[in-house]
Structure 1
């Protein structure tokens, strides 16, 4: 559920091309530190959860952030 949400954001907002696999890190998706900070702020705005900087690094995978969002009780916006 959150993986699809993240794929949509990454492709539409951050212009990530190609297939976005859950096992891919943000480094592999070529997101820089500024983009990661913006993504964290967007997740907070959209979902009402806080994603700490140490949880959103270049080495973090899409699946890891999806699991974190789920664990925090976030709800994908309709």
Structure 2
């Protein structure tokens, strides 16, 4: 998933267009609420998550808004 944004970032940098990508892990939403309520499934996911918990939509939205803002004008291809 990282290669298309990386090549796009290089391609569009001449036009002063930033291309950044957020690759989230498990985000707790109503769509997966039932799955995360299952202790066995939830534990399997949490074993692979460094923070041992799913993220929240706000935790994903805040960096997305930052990357969209002028404050992120110098951020390019951060991996």
Structure with a larger share of its residues in helix? 2
TM-score, normalized by length of structure 1?
A: 0.28
Radius of gyration: which is bigger?
2
